[in-house]
Structure 1
Amino acid sequence: MDSAAFILNQNFIDDLWNRINALDSAFTPFEVFDTSAPRGVVPSKEHLASLLDAVFWTSYEMEEGTAVSVSLIFRKPEQGADTFCFDRPIPLSPKSLVKLGPALENPRAHISVWPDEQGFLKVWGFITGSDEFITYDLWVQGLGPGCVLITFGGKSLAALIESKAVFVDTGILMQAILPKITHGEARGRADLETVIRYNSLLFIAQAMRSHGHGGTVLVVPEGSNWQQSIRHPVPYTGGASFLDTSLENLQPSSAQLKSQKGFFDFIKKAFSKRHNKSALQREKIKQQCSRIARLTAVDGALLMTPDRYTYCFGAKIEAIDPTPSAFELQALKPIEGYAKTPLNFSDLGGTRHLSAAQFAHDQPEAIALVASQDGDVTFFTQEAETGDLVAIQQAELALLHEGLSGALWNISLITKMEGLNNE
């Protein structure tokens, strides 16, 4: 389903509001970690439309020649060490968001909004964020000009993309990527390494998108013949993991694998903020992903394993079986109801996309990830069953913009895909 975003079609607002309410009453992965955590407050339909409209139009604005990116949360005013409360709340409008936006980026802080006694939405302050930030509230983020992501309960629900309003389906990207990063013996069951590999790949893509230089990552199995698809000599080769410590080799018991909640109980130790060793390991993986992403700013591709051991960067891709311009691949998007669409190889775009698609065509077990300078993210991979080359476009909608919240929801989705049932 899609609707005209410029007028925020009422059917879209009604559907989104109903989905938010349904999620508010459903089981969430956060309940495993903190059963006393408050649920987010669901805004009225009118306030929901106003919040989306404000962030959407702000995303097109420039402040001193720089695009404005804002993060907005619907939350009651509160005092705390991580909050700044204005003495006089500011009316919510694109103009006020444009003024605040540049001051609340890098590191990100979240503009906080709540209606006053007369029911008018006001900016009452902001909350500082972090990689460990979790919110149960309605969260509206500007990802780029005309691109807005809507999250509730830590889960991405919908997006505004230029003139369209859509519902996000992160499972589309996950279904395409998981078979390439799962050990053969682990296929068909939940696996902590698979969770870490998948979320880490999304962290890398998000960091590539943030540095704004564009780049390509090629994920290849250990011992594969990827060298045949690379022009030699490679200027920057050697190999490094960029990880200071190894993860605990944890695996769930058969009893824990019988339900989502059982699996969440298992990973609670690995993802709980209260577990110092796990928090340190998680932080080191984030640092590792950031270092890898930074290397992609060098012209050429970076090659690594699913466990993020980096072989080289600055590599030039060389075709083994050159793909004709009339060759068709299948385009997908992480959007609900989006069907595979035939796409000519020649219509992919620039050199990065063409070479990455060629690599995925020549290396059936590989994943190719491309981030454009304008923030668009595309994954290329080959389906094992059909042999089709697939391009997952607009993958930026499925990245971990929700931080740790998104990582937890991905664990939930992975357990569902592995055939686990709710208790």
Structure 2
Amino acid sequence: MDKPKYPREHLHAALAASVPEWLEHADLLEDLGELVDQVFFASLATEEGENLRFHVVVAGKKKLEEVTDTEWPDAIPEQEQELAWTVMRIEPHRVDPKALVKLAGATEFGRTALVLDQRNEDGQLWIFGVARRNPRTNGGRVLVVSTSAPGAVSVYFEGRRIMRYERGLLVPPVVDVFSEAGVVTRAIRSSIPEFLARMKNSLFSPHNVGERVFSRLVRGMRATGHGGSVLVLPAVPDGEAAPKPKYRLLRADVLAVQAQAYVDVHTERFKAQFGAEDPNEFPFERWKQQEDVAEANLEAAVDDIARLTAPDGALLMGPEFAVLGAGYMVTGTGTGKVLDIFEASDAEGKRVSEKPYALEQHGARHKAAATFVSQSGGFAFIASEDGPLKVLVRHEDRILLWRVELPEY
């Protein structure tokens, strides 16, 4: 068994493996190591009887206000990338566990982070403010140190986790099922064929809308704190076979309408910009404001729908982002045939567990999701109240399961 270590003892190896350029910041390395240890100990503290959760962001040699998105570095020049953070500066405070605990209340877990930077006089890290990440970006080339639970520390770079420390040991990486092309992304895209067909011939449309919608939906489901599940039908039966959720929406296309509106304004903006006679005269700010409003409307719709996972039963969806209703109870969970489930460790589902997943160790929600996927051929997301998120997809004659990890900021 590996001997437990403090988080800082793992940081150098994580940086060397994922972002070796940060090793060039020799003056920062010692401070970063001390930071992850301080965040670790701060996460063990309590404020008014509750453990606190932290996000801190370190930009390195660049001011955080100048950091841009780097998701498409080959397609979009850096000078045209969106700014990744909005920063509210405060008078500097030296970093220590007490300051982190006191200022944690100024941030909202999952949305904002404390800004750490170096002062030229001493080279040490100080707290300089609070920042909010632009959700359209990956956060850029900065380090984010986060704690999702007491004693659990994660480090992110460009929106992907490069290290997670828990109970004295490193936690193996989890597949990013929403960004790595594979079984899950194909299942999501196959559920919105008409939506994608309308964008097929456009170079200007955001083709990852499906992944973004379901990623935010799952994040919102987790945020309710109640656990829940989202079940997605490949087709909706008619007549007596039609599903009967307890709480039906009067308009099943409420999400589809907002998704299409966002795509339309995004596409039209890029078409107009591409065809402008004088790029310097293009009304970028006006178009950008329209796009921001459309995206905010889409995100608000997803967040509202995610709240429907809180009641007993599942949120039931159909093709083309259709929201059929909440409180749906899967039939046949007692006697129906459930395919064997295998946990996958890669996006394509080529590396799977040798033995079937032990479904019996979980409750009714997991059994219902497995039965649904077996019977319908759809896919399902599950959030336990205190366990990991999971996604189940029928793949040939079995069900594949992935643990889902979402960035904690």
TM surpasses 0.5: yes
Equivalent residue number for residue 90 of structure 2: 85
In structure 2, relative to structure 1, the CA distance for the partners of 1:356 and 1:107 (3 Å cut) is closer
> In structure 1, which of residues 290, 293, 297 is the aligned counterpart of residue 310 of structure 2?
297
Q: What is the CA–CA distance in structure 1 between the aligned matches of 2:14 and 2:286, rounded to whole Å?
A: 34
**Bigger relative contact order (CA 8 A; separation at least 6):** 1
Q: Report the alpha carbon displacement of residue 182 of structure 1 after superposing the two structures with TM.
A: 2.3
In structure 2, relative to structure 1, the CA distance for the partners of 1:131 and 1:182 (3 Å cut) is closer
Q: Please tell me whether residue 276 in structure 1 is matched to residue 285 in structure 2.
A: no
Q: What is the CA–CA distance in structure 2 between the aligned matches of 1:131 and 1:240, rounded to whole Å?
A: 26
In structure 2, relative to structure 1, the CA distance for the partners of 1:290 and 1:358 (3 Å cut) is same
2:391 partner letter: F
Equivalent residue number for residue 112 of structure 2: 109
2:314 partner letter: A
1:112 partner letter: V
Contact map agreement 1:205 1:369 (CA 8 A) in 2 = yes
Equivalent residue number for residue 18 of structure 2: 19
In structure 2, relative to structure 1, the CA distance for the partners of 1:21 and 1:169 (3 Å cut) is farther
In structure 2, relative to structure 1, the CA distance for the partners of 1:4 and 1:151 (3 Å cut) is farther
Cα deviation 1:286-316 (Å, max 9, x = unaligned): 1111011011111110111353221011111
Cα deviation 1:358-382 (Å, max 9, x = unaligned): 2112222x11111122262111111
Q: Report the alpha carbon displacement of residue 321 of structure 1 after superposing the two structures with TM.
A: 8.7
Equivalent residue number for residue 81 of structure 2: none
Equivalent residue number for residue 236 of structure 1: 247
Contact map agreement 1:5 1:164 (CA 8 A) in 2 = no
Q: What is the CA–CA distance in structure 2 between the aligned matches of 1:206 and 1:113, rounded to whole Å?
A: 26
Cα deviation 1:192-239 (Å, max 9, x = unaligned): 575111111000111111121111111122435898696x5x321244
Q: Please tell me whether residue 371 in structure 1 is matched to residue 383 in structure 2.
A: yes
Equivalent residue number for residue 55 of structure 1: 39
Q: What is the CA–CA distance in structure 1 between the aligned matches of 2:239 and 2:156, rounded to whole Å?
A: 38
2:371 partner letter: Q
Equivalent residue number for residue 170 of structure 1: 176
Q: Report the alpha carbon displacement of residue 45 of structure 1 after superposing the two structures with TM.
A: 3.5
Q: Report the alpha carbon displacement of residue 73 of structure 1 after superposing the two structures with TM.
A: 0.7
Q: What is the CA–CA distance in structure 2 between the aligned matches of 1:161 and 1:12, rounded to whole Å?
A: 13
Q: What is the CA–CA distance in structure 2 between the aligned matches of 1:344 and 1:168, rounded to whole Å?
A: 17
Contact map agreement 2:265 2:291 (CA 8 A) in 1 = no
1:383 partner letter: H
Cα deviation 1:218-266 (Å, max 9, x = unaligned): 1122435898696x5x3212443334643346999xxxxxxxxxxxxxx
User: Relative to structure 2, which stretch is displaced further, 42-51 or 220-229?
Assistant: 220-229
Cα deviation 1:118-151 (Å, max 9, x = unaligned): 4443323323456457443111222334443322
Q: What is the CA–CA distance in structure 2 between the aligned matches of 1:250 and 1:297, rounded to whole Å?
A: 32
> In structure 1, which of residues 373, 377, 380 is the aligned counterpart of residue 392 of structure 2?
380
Q: Report the alpha carbon displacement of residue 324 of structure 1 after superposing the two structures with TM.
A: 7.1
Equivalent residue number for residue 99 of structure 2: 96
Q: What is the CA–CA distance in structure 2 between the aligned matches of 1:155 and 1:208, rounded to whole Å?
A: 21
In structure 2, relative to structure 1, the CA distance for the partners of 1:272 and 1:16 (3 Å cut) is farther
1:137 partner letter: V
Contact map agreement 1:73 1:112 (CA 8 A) in 2 = yes
In structure 2, relative to structure 1, the CA distance for the partners of 1:277 and 1:118 (3 Å cut) is closer
1:313 partner letter: A
2:13 partner letter: D
Secondary structure, counterpart of 1:275 in structure 2: helix
TM-score, normalized by length of structure 1?
0.69
Q: Report the alpha carbon displacement of residue 10 of structure 1 after superposing the two structures with TM.
A: 4.3
Q: What is the CA–CA distance in structure 1 between the aligned matches of 2:104 and 2:211, rounded to whole Å?
A: 31
In structure 2, relative to structure 1, the CA distance for the partners of 1:350 and 1:51 (3 Å cut) is farther
- State the identity as a percent: 21
Contact map agreement 2:226 2:385 (CA 8 A) in 1 = yes
Q: Please tell me whether residue 123 in structure 1 is matched to residue 127 in structure 2.
A: yes
In structure 2, relative to structure 1, the CA distance for the partners of 1:346 and 1:284 (3 Å cut) is same
Contact map agreement 2:381 2:391 (CA 8 A) in 1 = yes
User: Relative to structure 2, which stretch is displaced further, 307-316 or 146-155?
Assistant: 146-155
Contact map agreement 1:90 1:122 (CA 8 A) in 2 = yes
Q: What is the CA–CA distance in structure 2 between the aligned matches of 1:315 and 1:198, rounded to whole Å?
A: 23
User: Relative to structure 2, which stretch is displaced further, 147-156 or 206-215?
Assistant: 147-156
Q: Please tell me whether residue 358 in structure 1 is matched to residue 371 in structure 2.
A: yes
Equivalent residue number for residue 187 of structure 2: 180
Q: What is the CA–CA distance in structure 2 between the aligned matches of 1:132 and 1:166, rounded to whole Å?
A: 27
Q: What is the CA–CA distance in structure 2 between the aligned matches of 1:226 and 1:50, rounded to whole Å?
A: 63
Contact map agreement 2:228 2:310 (CA 8 A) in 1 = yes
Mark the structure with the bigger radius of gyration: 2
Q: What is the CA–CA distance in structure 2 between the aligned matches of 1:361 and 1:43, rounded to whole Å?
A: 55
Q: What is the CA–CA distance in structure 2 between the aligned matches of 1:190 and 1:4, rounded to whole Å?
A: 55
Q: What is the CA–CA distance in structure 2 between the aligned matches of 1:7 and 1:107, rounded to whole Å?
A: 24
Secondary structure, counterpart of 1:103 in structure 2: coil
> In structure 2, which of residues 153, 156, 161 is the aligned counterpart of residue 151 of structure 1?
156
2:312 partner letter: D
1:97 partner letter: L
Q: Report the alpha carbon displacement of residue 72 of structure 1 after superposing the two structures with TM.
A: 0.4
Aligned residues: 356
Q: What is the CA–CA distance in structure 1 between the aligned matches of 2:166 and 2:236, rounded to whole Å?
A: 40
In structure 2, relative to structure 1, the CA distance for the partners of 1:354 and 1:41 (3 Å cut) is farther
In structure 2, relative to structure 1, the CA distance for the partners of 1:378 and 1:154 (3 Å cut) is closer
